[in-house]
Amino acid sequence: MIRVPPFLVFLLLLPLPFIAQASLHATQEPMDFASQALRLLAAEVPDASGPGIGVLVARGDEVLFRGARGMANVELAVPLRPEHGMRIASLSKQFTAAGLLRLVDEGRVALDDPLSKYLPDYPGAEGITLLQLLNHTSGVRSYTRMPSHMEHALHRPIDTAGLISVFSGEAPDFAPGARYDYNDSGYVLAGAVIEKVTGMAWDAWLDQAFFEPLGLARTRGGDTMTTVPGLANGYRVDADGVVHPAGFLHMSQPHAAGALLSNVDDLLRWNLALHGGKVLSADSYVRMTTPEGPAASAGAPYGLGLEVHGAGRKLRMEHTGGIVGFESVLLYVPADRISVVLVRNATGPGEFRLQALARQLAALARAPDVASPMKPEGSPAEVMAQLDQAFFAAFNACDVVGHMGFLDPALEFYHDKGGRTVGAHRMEVMMRERCGSKETSLRRELVPGSLTVDPVPGYGAIQTGEHRFFLTVGDAPEQWVESARFVHVWREDASGWRVVRALSFDHKAP
């Protein structure tokens, strides 16, 4: 019998009143959602004979809506289709950040490395870290805020060294790490580090690391002098609504800060891979999606190539992009695995509404709170026994969706190994990473007679127990590798039972 000391019960329950009774809301079925998406799209593109918007909204890998309205080529009246490619501008930053983090995972660079380790001739490089380049806290002057360059040089081809020379002689805006200020030069320097370490062009490295293995066939670096099949034309819409061809931009100018091309289908594949644990290690993914330092207190908290808003069920990760002739938004809601992709082949009126449209579509696509697979009846002990069995049956079967259905989005999980605390989203990432292995499997087993239950009237119950974990590697026999004690705080509401607090401790080898 495992009893939880009164002070531990108090510690576990203390934050709970602040998260009690999650709101329940219904969502539309796919066909209803499609009609609403079409209505919103028509409102954003009232003139279907002008430039348009491509849209893709999905819940996990289930596509709720895929469509487009407007023209890919206004002059020839070629309708825009979802598969058409566009310049995705600053959405490129999350690819560049992931590209550098892949090198971290391979042990070839470290986020705390000084820039001088790779670009020793850059002024002040010894005081700038790679992390500061990726989260906009380096203080380097952004070349896209230099009128002398932006107004006179964007049409010219330029190489990496030449682009760096545009801003390297400028005084820093602030000391490295002192504050946050969105900065395109930092990502040019990040691209230069990738080139230095890999010996490849930054976009060639991304192609080798991500585009090819993930099947992103329509994602590539922009090349002004190459014909790209299926690429939409870009436009500029003035204040009177008159459509003009976009100005000329040589695609060497945006570099790793914004030079990629893609389409809505590839961007969905990228979202699912990135947030599904198929791109980075769990540790690197957490660094990418966790704002820190001055970037955490920015108006739009910034991780590495991603803005990160809210927490728990309201957590949202997104980025926008704007470049000559094109705009884009890529958004992800972890609690419901919602992806929203928007691409527009125009700049001008409506550019600030694209992000609002993405958020509106995400809100419409939200699933209702996922109920447990069961709402058992009986005594508290019988209820907890049934919940424990179903909860870990899903764990053992690698039923990620089923297992996550038992976890509250605001879950706090305390683990005595390394003192780490992770939430529901990272739990999902870790489970998907574990279950993605074909060579190993992990099984949990409750120690008979160890389960005890303390009802919490009007809230739920506290469950304590002991379990063992068994590992199978390849064709070798299953081995008992660890035992641990646990405490689960369960909350019951109209949708079922969920774990809101979990404690795993006293881990022991057999």
Angle, vertex CA 441, rays to CA 437 and CA 445, nearest 5: 150
- Tens digits of per-residue pLDDT, 36-56? 899 889 989 999 999 999 999
Phi and psi dihedrals of 431, rounded to 5?
-70, -40
Closest CA to 57 of 231, 271, 209: 271
Report the pLDDT averaged over residues 482-507. Answer: 89
Between 389 and 124, residue with greater pLDDT: 124
Looking at the domain assignment, is residue 452 inside a domain? yes
Extract the tokens encoding 232: 């939409």
Is residue 335 domain-shared with residue 394, that is, in the same domain? no
Q: What is the pLDDT of residue 12?
A: 44
Report the pLDDT averaged over residues 109-137. Answer: 98
Q: What is the pLDDT of residue 364?
A: 87
- Tens digits of per-residue pLDDT, 409-456? 777 888 887 665 556 666 776 777 777 666 788 999 999 999 999 999
Taking the C-alpha atoms of residue 169 and residue 176, their distance in angstroms, rounded to an integer, is 16
Range with top average pLDDT, 6-20, 258-272, 285-299, 487-501: 258-272
Looking at the domain assignment, is residue 15 inside a domain? no
Q: What is the pLDDT of residue 5?
A: 41
Looking at the domain assignment, is residue 328 inside a domain? yes
Give the single-character DSSP code of 312. Answer: G
Give the mean pLDDT of the chain.
87
Number of independent structural domains in the chain: 2
Q: What is the pLDDT of residue 17?
A: 32
Asked if 308 and 300 touch (Cβ cutoff 8 Å), the reply is no
Report the pLDDT averaged over residues 49-71. Answer: 96
CATH number at residue 238: 3.40.710.10
Is residue 81 domain-shared with residue 168, that is, in the same domain? yes
Extract the tokens encoding 123: 């002024």
Report the pLDDT averaged over residues 505-509. Answer: 90
First to last CA, the chain: 20
Looking at the domain assignment, is residue 233 inside a domain? yes
Question: What whole-number percentage of the chain has pLDDT above 70?
Answer: 89
Report the pLDDT averaged over residues 221-228. Answer: 88
Q: What is the pLDDT of residue 27?
A: 33
Bridge partners of 231, per DSSP, are 85
Looking at the domain assignment, is residue 199 inside a domain? yes
Looking at the domain assignment, is residue 22 inside a domain? no
- Tens digits of per-residue pLDDT, 156-190? 999 999 999 999 999 999 999 999 999 999 999 99
Is residue 420 domain-shared with residue 503, that is, in the same domain? yes
Q: What is the pLDDT of residue 33?
A: 87
Report the pLDDT averaged over residues 281-287. Answer: 94
Is residue 110 domain-shared with residue 127, that is, in the same domain? yes
What is the span of the domain harbouring residue 397? 371-508
Is 70 exceeded by the pLDDT of residue 3? no
- Tens digits of per-residue pLDDT, 71-87? 999 999 999 999 999 99
Last residue of a domain, one of 311, 346, 365: 365
Is residue 400 domain-shared with residue 332, that is, in the same domain? no
Is residue 341 domain-shared with residue 415, that is, in the same domain? no
Asked if 498 and 491 touch (Cβ cutoff 8 Å), the reply is yes
CA dihedral 203, 82, 36, 361 (to 10 degrees): 0
Looking at the domain assignment, is residue 6 inside a domain? no
Taking the C-alpha atoms of residue 46 and residue 44, their distance in angstroms, rounded to an integer, is 6
Last residue of a domain, one of 365, 393, 425: 365
CATH number at residue 426: 3.10.450.50
Is residue 344 domain-shared with residue 383, that is, in the same domain? no
Is residue 320 domain-shared with residue 189, that is, in the same domain? yes
Looking at the domain assignment, is residue 167 inside a domain? yes
Alpha helices in 289-407 (DSSP H): 353-365, 380-396, 400-404
Is 50 exceeded by the pLDDT of residue 296? yes
Asked if 214 and 273 touch (Cβ cutoff 8 Å), the reply is yes
Extract the tokens encoding 34: 């499609």
Is residue 204 domain-shared with residue 343, that is, in the same domain? yes
Report the pLDDT averaged over residues 305-334. Answer: 93
Is residue 482 domain-shared with residue 381, that is, in the same domain? yes
- Tens digits of per-residue pLDDT, 343-353? 999 998 755 58
Estimate to the nearest angstrom the gap between the alpha carbon of 238 and the chain centroid: 33
Taking the C-alpha atoms of residue 58 and residue 276, their distance in angstroms, rounded to an integer, is 14
Extract the tokens encoding 137: 């806290």
Is residue 469 domain-shared with residue 453, that is, in the same domain? yes
Is 60 exceeded by the pLDDT of residue 376? yes
Is 60 exceeded by the pLDDT of residue 4? no
Is residue 236 domain-shared with residue 178, that is, in the same domain? yes
Estimate to the nearest angstrom the gap between the alpha carbon of 123 and the chain centroid: 33
Closest CA to 154 of 249, 262, 49: 249
Q: What is the pLDDT of residue 413?
A: 84
Q: What is the pLDDT of residue 108?
A: 98
Last residue of a domain, one of 331, 365, 399: 365
Which segments within 133-254 are labelled E, that is strand?
A: 220-221, 235-237, 243-245
Q: What is the pLDDT of residue 213?
A: 97
Report the pLDDT averaged over residues 397-407. Answer: 81
Q: Collapsing DSSP states into helix, strand and coil, what is residue 334?
A: coil
Range with top average pLDDT, 171-185, 309-323, 387-401, 468-482: 171-185
